[in-house]
Amino acid sequence: MASNSTLLAFLCLVGLMVGASLAQLNPSFYAKSCPNLPKIVNGVVANALRTDARAGAKLIRFHFHDCFVNGCDASVLLENAPGIDSELDAPGNQGIQGLNIIDDIKSAVEKACPRTVSCADILTIASRESVVLAGGPSWIVPLGRRDSRTANKEGATNNLASPFEDLDGLKAKFSVFGLDSTDLVALSGAHTFGRSRCAFFSHRFANFNGTNRPDPTLDPAYREQLRRVCSSSETRANFDPTTPDKFDKNYYTNLQGLRGLLQSDQELFSTRGADTVAIVNRFAKSQDEFFKSFGRSMIKMGNISPLTGKKGEIRLNCRRVNSPPRADEGHDVM
Protein backbone atom coordinates (compact mmCIF):
# COMPACT_ATOMS: atom_id res chain seq x y z
CA MET A 1 0.00 0.00 0.00
CA ALA A 2 2.81 2.38 0.83
CA SER A 3 4.41 1.92 -2.58
CA ASN A 4 1.04 2.47 -4.31
CA SER A 5 0.50 5.65 -2.31
CA THR A 6 3.95 6.88 -3.27
CA LEU A 7 3.30 6.19 -6.95
CA LEU A 8 -0.08 7.94 -6.78
CA ALA A 9 1.50 10.98 -5.14
CA PHE A 10 4.21 11.08 -7.82
CA LEU A 11 1.66 10.84 -10.66
CA CYS A 12 -0.40 13.63 -9.09
CA LEU A 13 2.73 15.78 -8.87
CA VAL A 14 3.49 15.16 -12.55
CA GLY A 15 -0.10 16.07 -13.42
CA LEU A 16 0.17 19.33 -11.50
CA MET A 17 3.47 20.13 -13.21
CA VAL A 18 2.00 19.53 -16.67
CA GLY A 19 -1.05 21.65 -15.83
CA ALA A 20 1.11 24.47 -14.51
CA SER A 21 3.33 24.26 -17.58
CA LEU A 22 0.35 24.61 -19.89
CA ALA A 23 -0.69 27.76 -18.05
CA GLN A 24 2.76 29.31 -18.57
CA LEU A 25 3.13 28.45 -22.26
CA ASN A 26 1.40 30.56 -24.90
CA PRO A 27 0.93 30.02 -28.66
CA SER A 28 1.47 33.78 -29.14
CA PHE A 29 4.69 33.91 -27.12
CA TYR A 30 6.78 35.08 -30.11
CA ALA A 31 4.03 37.08 -31.85
CA LYS A 32 5.95 40.33 -31.40
CA SER A 33 9.54 39.19 -30.86
CA CYS A 34 9.68 36.73 -33.79
CA PRO A 35 6.41 36.87 -35.77
CA ASN A 36 7.69 34.85 -38.75
CA LEU A 37 9.04 31.98 -36.63
CA PRO A 38 6.76 29.19 -37.95
CA LYS A 39 7.42 30.26 -41.54
CA ILE A 40 11.19 30.28 -40.98
CA VAL A 41 11.16 26.81 -39.43
CA ASN A 42 8.88 25.46 -42.15
CA GLY A 43 11.21 26.77 -44.84
CA VAL A 44 14.30 25.10 -43.40
CA VAL A 45 12.51 21.78 -42.85
CA ALA A 46 11.10 21.88 -46.38
CA ASN A 47 14.57 22.52 -47.76
CA ALA A 48 16.00 19.59 -45.76
CA LEU A 49 13.28 17.30 -47.12
CA ARG A 50 14.39 18.02 -50.68
CA THR A 51 17.59 16.08 -50.10
CA ASP A 52 16.56 13.81 -47.22
CA ALA A 53 13.07 12.30 -47.20
CA ARG A 54 13.61 11.19 -43.59
CA ALA A 55 14.39 14.68 -42.27
CA GLY A 56 10.95 15.11 -40.70
CA ALA A 57 11.04 11.77 -38.92
CA LYS A 58 14.49 12.61 -37.56
CA LEU A 59 13.26 15.89 -36.10
CA ILE A 60 10.17 14.47 -34.41
CA ARG A 61 12.29 11.71 -32.86
CA PHE A 62 14.46 14.38 -31.22
CA HIS A 63 11.37 16.05 -29.78
CA PHE A 64 10.05 12.76 -28.36
CA HIS A 65 13.40 11.82 -26.87
CA ASP A 66 13.78 15.30 -25.40
CA CYS A 67 10.43 15.46 -23.64
CA PHE A 68 10.75 12.02 -22.01
CA VAL A 69 13.91 13.09 -20.15
CA ASN A 70 13.55 16.01 -17.72
CA GLY A 71 10.78 17.48 -19.88
CA CYS A 72 10.90 19.45 -23.13
CA ASP A 73 14.05 21.48 -22.50
CA ALA A 74 16.36 20.61 -25.45
CA SER A 75 18.69 18.68 -23.15
CA VAL A 76 18.87 15.92 -25.78
CA LEU A 77 20.78 18.26 -28.10
CA LEU A 78 23.69 18.90 -25.73
CA GLU A 79 26.97 17.27 -26.73
CA ASN A 80 29.62 16.06 -24.28
CA ALA A 81 31.43 18.90 -22.53
CA PRO A 82 32.80 19.60 -19.05
CA GLY A 83 29.87 18.97 -16.73
CA ILE A 84 27.71 17.58 -19.55
CA ASP A 85 27.29 13.80 -19.93
CA SER A 86 25.41 13.82 -23.22
CA GLU A 87 22.04 12.11 -23.57
CA LEU A 88 23.07 11.39 -27.15
CA ASP A 89 25.25 8.57 -25.79
CA ALA A 90 22.35 6.80 -24.07
CA PRO A 91 21.33 3.46 -25.65
CA GLY A 92 17.96 4.80 -26.77
CA ASN A 93 19.63 7.60 -28.73
CA GLN A 94 22.10 5.43 -30.61
CA GLY A 95 21.85 6.18 -34.31
CA ILE A 96 19.76 9.33 -33.80
CA GLN A 97 20.27 11.75 -36.68
CA GLY A 98 19.30 15.27 -37.67
CA LEU A 99 21.39 17.60 -35.50
CA ASN A 100 22.59 19.34 -38.65
CA ILE A 101 18.99 20.20 -39.56
CA ILE A 102 18.42 21.66 -36.11
CA ASP A 103 21.62 23.69 -36.52
CA ASP A 104 20.28 25.07 -39.81
CA ILE A 105 16.95 26.00 -38.24
CA LYS A 106 18.65 27.69 -35.29
CA SER A 107 20.94 29.63 -37.64
CA ALA A 108 18.01 30.90 -39.69
CA VAL A 109 16.02 31.82 -36.58
CA GLU A 110 19.00 33.61 -34.99
CA LYS A 111 19.48 35.62 -38.17
CA ALA A 112 15.88 36.85 -38.05
CA CYS A 113 15.38 37.02 -34.28
CA PRO A 114 18.71 37.08 -32.39
CA ARG A 115 18.83 35.62 -28.86
CA THR A 116 15.07 35.16 -28.72
CA VAL A 117 13.88 31.63 -29.54
CA SER A 118 14.85 28.58 -27.51
CA CYS A 119 16.08 25.33 -29.01
CA ALA A 120 13.29 23.57 -27.09
CA ASP A 121 10.67 25.63 -28.92
CA ILE A 122 12.48 25.08 -32.22
CA LEU A 123 12.21 21.32 -31.69
CA THR A 124 8.51 21.63 -30.89
CA ILE A 125 7.69 23.75 -33.94
CA ALA A 126 9.92 21.69 -36.24
CA SER A 127 8.05 18.54 -35.22
CA ARG A 128 4.73 20.05 -36.22
CA GLU A 129 6.07 21.39 -39.51
CA SER A 130 7.61 17.99 -40.29
CA VAL A 131 4.23 16.31 -39.86
CA VAL A 132 2.40 18.95 -41.91
CA LEU A 133 4.91 18.74 -44.77
CA ALA A 134 4.45 14.95 -44.84
CA GLY A 135 0.69 15.32 -45.29
CA GLY A 136 -0.27 15.08 -41.63
CA PRO A 137 -2.27 17.35 -39.31
CA SER A 138 -1.39 20.71 -37.85
CA TRP A 139 -2.02 21.76 -34.27
CA ILE A 140 -1.59 24.83 -32.09
CA VAL A 141 1.82 24.80 -30.40
CA PRO A 142 2.08 26.49 -26.97
CA LEU A 143 5.45 28.28 -26.78
CA GLY A 144 7.75 29.88 -24.23
CA ARG A 145 10.04 26.99 -23.30
CA ARG A 146 13.61 27.70 -22.31
CA ASP A 147 16.70 25.54 -22.68
CA SER A 148 18.33 23.50 -19.93
CA ARG A 149 21.94 23.95 -18.87
CA THR A 150 22.27 20.26 -17.99
CA ALA A 151 21.78 16.84 -19.57
CA ASN A 152 20.57 13.61 -17.99
CA LYS A 153 22.13 10.56 -19.65
CA GLU A 154 20.85 8.27 -16.90
CA GLY A 155 17.33 9.57 -17.41
CA ALA A 156 17.62 8.96 -21.15
CA THR A 157 18.81 5.43 -20.46
CA ASN A 158 15.91 4.67 -18.11
CA ASN A 159 13.01 6.72 -19.49
CA LEU A 160 13.07 6.21 -23.25
CA ALA A 161 10.86 3.44 -24.58
CA SER A 162 12.78 0.50 -25.99
CA PRO A 163 11.94 -1.18 -29.33
CA PHE A 164 12.02 -4.45 -27.35
CA GLU A 165 9.49 -3.23 -24.76
CA ASP A 166 6.27 -5.05 -23.96
CA LEU A 167 3.00 -3.17 -23.56
CA ASP A 168 3.15 -3.00 -19.77
CA GLY A 169 6.59 -1.41 -19.98
CA LEU A 170 5.44 1.11 -22.57
CA LYS A 171 2.39 2.08 -20.53
CA ALA A 172 4.49 2.51 -17.41
CA LYS A 173 6.94 4.86 -19.12
CA PHE A 174 4.15 6.96 -20.61
CA SER A 175 2.01 7.11 -17.47
CA VAL A 176 4.88 8.61 -15.45
CA PHE A 177 4.44 11.72 -17.60
CA GLY A 178 0.65 11.76 -17.45
CA LEU A 179 0.20 10.14 -20.86
CA ASP A 180 -2.54 7.51 -21.14
CA SER A 181 -3.24 4.63 -23.53
CA THR A 182 -4.73 6.90 -26.19
CA ASP A 183 -1.62 9.09 -26.05
CA LEU A 184 0.59 6.00 -26.32
CA VAL A 185 -1.19 4.71 -29.41
CA ALA A 186 -1.50 8.14 -31.03
CA LEU A 187 2.12 9.16 -30.47
CA SER A 188 3.35 5.76 -31.64
CA GLY A 189 1.68 6.68 -34.93
CA ALA A 190 4.70 8.87 -35.65
CA HIS A 191 6.21 5.58 -36.84
CA THR A 192 4.07 6.02 -39.94
CA PHE A 193 7.17 7.60 -41.50
CA GLY A 194 10.91 7.21 -41.06
CA ARG A 195 13.11 4.15 -40.70
CA SER A 196 14.67 1.90 -38.07
CA ARG A 197 17.91 -0.03 -37.93
CA CYS A 198 17.66 -3.79 -38.38
CA ALA A 199 19.40 -4.24 -35.02
CA PHE A 200 16.16 -3.10 -33.36
CA PHE A 201 13.87 -5.72 -34.90
CA SER A 202 15.93 -8.60 -36.38
CA HIS A 203 15.49 -10.54 -33.11
CA ARG A 204 11.93 -11.17 -34.29
CA PHE A 205 13.11 -13.30 -37.24
CA ALA A 206 14.13 -16.40 -35.25
CA ASN A 207 14.38 -17.61 -31.65
CA PHE A 208 12.14 -14.80 -30.48
CA ASN A 209 12.42 -14.48 -26.70
CA GLY A 210 14.21 -17.84 -26.56
CA THR A 211 11.37 -19.80 -28.22
CA ASN A 212 13.44 -21.12 -31.16
CA ARG A 213 10.68 -19.72 -33.35
CA PRO A 214 10.05 -16.39 -35.09
CA ASP A 215 7.82 -13.80 -33.46
CA PRO A 216 4.28 -15.14 -34.04
CA THR A 217 2.95 -11.57 -34.25
CA LEU A 218 5.11 -10.83 -37.32
CA ASP A 219 3.52 -11.70 -40.68
CA PRO A 220 5.68 -14.45 -42.31
CA ALA A 221 5.75 -12.81 -45.75
CA TYR A 222 6.70 -9.47 -44.22
CA ARG A 223 9.33 -11.21 -42.08
CA GLU A 224 11.01 -12.63 -45.17
CA GLN A 225 10.84 -9.23 -46.87
CA LEU A 226 12.60 -7.66 -43.90
CA ARG A 227 15.14 -10.46 -43.74
CA ARG A 228 16.15 -9.68 -47.34
CA VAL A 229 16.49 -5.97 -46.49
CA CYS A 230 18.64 -6.60 -43.41
CA SER A 231 22.03 -7.38 -44.89
CA SER A 232 23.57 -6.01 -41.67
CA SER A 233 22.39 -4.80 -38.29
CA GLU A 234 23.05 -1.21 -39.40
CA THR A 235 20.80 -1.41 -42.47
CA ARG A 236 17.61 0.60 -42.11
CA ALA A 237 14.09 -0.45 -43.10
CA ASN A 238 11.02 1.72 -43.57
CA PHE A 239 8.50 1.72 -40.74
CA ASP A 240 5.77 1.69 -43.37
CA PRO A 241 6.61 -0.34 -46.50
CA THR A 242 3.70 1.20 -48.45
CA THR A 243 3.93 4.99 -47.92
CA PRO A 244 7.25 5.37 -46.05
CA ASP A 245 7.52 9.15 -46.26
CA LYS A 246 3.86 10.07 -45.86
CA PHE A 247 2.14 10.83 -42.56
CA ASP A 248 -1.05 8.76 -42.67
CA LYS A 249 -2.98 6.03 -40.84
CA ASN A 250 -1.12 3.16 -42.53
CA TYR A 251 0.82 2.53 -39.33
CA TYR A 252 -2.37 1.17 -37.77
CA THR A 253 -3.51 -0.90 -40.74
CA ASN A 254 0.00 -2.38 -40.75
CA LEU A 255 -0.45 -3.40 -37.11
CA GLN A 256 -3.75 -5.07 -37.98
CA GLY A 257 -1.93 -7.08 -40.66
CA LEU A 258 0.92 -8.04 -38.27
CA ARG A 259 3.29 -5.75 -40.15
CA GLY A 260 4.45 -3.58 -37.27
CA LEU A 261 8.20 -3.15 -37.68
CA LEU A 262 9.22 -3.05 -34.03
CA GLN A 263 8.10 -5.40 -31.30
CA SER A 264 7.00 -2.32 -29.33
CA ASP A 265 4.79 -1.28 -32.26
CA GLN A 266 3.05 -4.62 -32.67
CA GLU A 267 2.47 -4.92 -28.91
CA LEU A 268 -0.22 -2.24 -29.23
CA PHE A 269 -2.40 -4.54 -31.33
CA SER A 270 -1.27 -8.06 -30.51
CA THR A 271 -1.41 -7.96 -26.71
CA ARG A 272 -4.49 -10.03 -25.89
CA GLY A 273 -7.20 -8.10 -24.05
CA ALA A 274 -5.32 -4.77 -24.10
CA ASP A 275 -7.28 -1.52 -24.26
CA THR A 276 -4.89 -0.34 -26.98
CA VAL A 277 -6.37 -2.79 -29.51
CA ALA A 278 -9.63 -0.85 -29.81
CA ILE A 279 -7.70 2.40 -30.18
CA VAL A 280 -5.58 0.93 -33.00
CA ASN A 281 -8.77 -0.25 -34.72
CA ARG A 282 -10.35 3.20 -34.36
CA PHE A 283 -7.36 4.97 -35.88
CA ALA A 284 -7.05 2.36 -38.66
CA LYS A 285 -10.67 3.05 -39.57
CA SER A 286 -10.51 6.85 -39.44
CA GLN A 287 -7.50 8.95 -40.36
CA ASP A 288 -9.37 12.00 -39.09
CA GLU A 289 -9.65 10.38 -35.65
CA PHE A 290 -5.93 9.61 -35.68
CA PHE A 291 -4.96 13.11 -36.76
CA LYS A 292 -7.10 14.79 -34.09
CA SER A 293 -5.77 12.52 -31.35
CA PHE A 294 -2.19 12.89 -32.54
CA GLY A 295 -2.38 16.69 -32.35
CA ARG A 296 -3.88 16.58 -28.86
CA SER A 297 -1.25 14.12 -27.65
CA MET A 298 1.60 16.14 -29.16
CA ILE A 299 0.41 19.22 -27.26
CA LYS A 300 0.16 17.14 -24.09
CA MET A 301 3.65 15.69 -24.54
CA GLY A 302 5.09 19.09 -25.45
CA ASN A 303 3.88 20.46 -22.12
CA ILE A 304 5.89 18.02 -20.00
CA SER A 305 7.87 20.02 -17.43
CA PRO A 306 9.21 22.84 -19.62
CA LEU A 307 11.52 25.49 -18.22
CA THR A 308 9.79 28.86 -18.34
CA GLY A 309 10.22 32.40 -17.07
CA LYS A 310 13.74 32.94 -15.72
CA LYS A 311 14.63 29.24 -15.60
CA GLY A 312 17.22 27.89 -18.00
CA GLU A 313 18.45 30.00 -20.89
CA ILE A 314 18.07 30.72 -24.60
CA ARG A 315 20.98 28.79 -26.10
CA LEU A 316 22.88 30.47 -28.90
CA ASN A 317 24.11 27.08 -30.11
CA CYS A 318 21.73 24.19 -29.53
CA ARG A 319 24.62 21.77 -28.97
CA ARG A 320 26.16 23.56 -26.00
CA VAL A 321 25.22 25.75 -23.06
CA ASN A 322 25.99 29.45 -23.23
CA SER A 323 29.24 30.75 -21.81
CA PRO A 324 28.75 32.79 -18.62
CA PRO A 325 28.38 36.47 -19.56
CA ARG A 326 31.14 38.90 -18.68
CA ALA A 327 30.35 41.64 -16.19
CA ASP A 328 30.07 44.20 -19.01
CA GLU A 329 27.67 42.06 -21.07
CA GLY A 330 23.90 41.93 -20.99
CA HIS A 331 21.99 38.96 -19.67
CA ASP A 332 19.30 38.72 -22.35
CA VAL A 333 19.92 35.04 -23.06
CA MET A 334 20.11 33.90 -19.42
- In this predicted structure, what is the pLDDT of residue 326? 53
The DSSP element (H or E) to which 289 belongs, if any, is: helix 287-302
CATH of domain 15-159: 1.10.520.10
Contact 302, 141 (CB under 8 A): yes
- In this predicted structure, what is the pLDDT of residue 23? 52
The fourth-level CATH superfamily of domain 167-299 is Peroxidase, domain 2 (1.10.420.10)
Question: 320 phi and psi, to 5 degrees?
Answer: -150, 155
b/e map 298-332, b = 16+ CB within 10 Å: bbbbbbbbbbbeeebbbbbbbbebeeeeeeeeeee
Catalytic residues: 65
Vertex 327: Cα angle to 322 and 331 (nearest 5): 50
307 bridge partner residues: 146
- In this predicted structure, what is the pLDDT of residue 68? 98
Task: Sort residue 198 into left (φ over 0), alpha (ψ -120 to 50) or beta.
Answer: alpha
Counting every residue written for the chain, the total comes to 334
207 bridge partner residues: none
DSSP letter assigned to residue 245 = T
Binding-site residues for heme b: 191
> How many angstroms separate the CA atoms of 80 and 117, rounded?
23
Query: Splitting the chain (334 residues) into consecutive groups of 10 residues, what average pLDDT does each group show?
Result: 41 44 82 98 99 97 97 98 97 94 99 99 99 98 98 97 97 98 99 96 95 97 97 95 97 99 98 98 99 99 97 98 66 48
- In this predicted structure, what is the pLDDT of residue 330? 45
- In this predicted structure, what is the pLDDT of residue 12? 45
> How many angstroms separate the CA atoms of 60 and 82, rounded?
28
Domain-wise residue ranges, the chain: 15-159, 167-299
Binding-site residues: 66, 69, 71, 73, 75, 87, 191-192, 240, 243, 248
Domain 15-159 shares a fold with domain 167-299:
no
Binding-site residues for Ca(2+): 66, 69, 71, 73, 75, 87, 192, 240, 243, 248
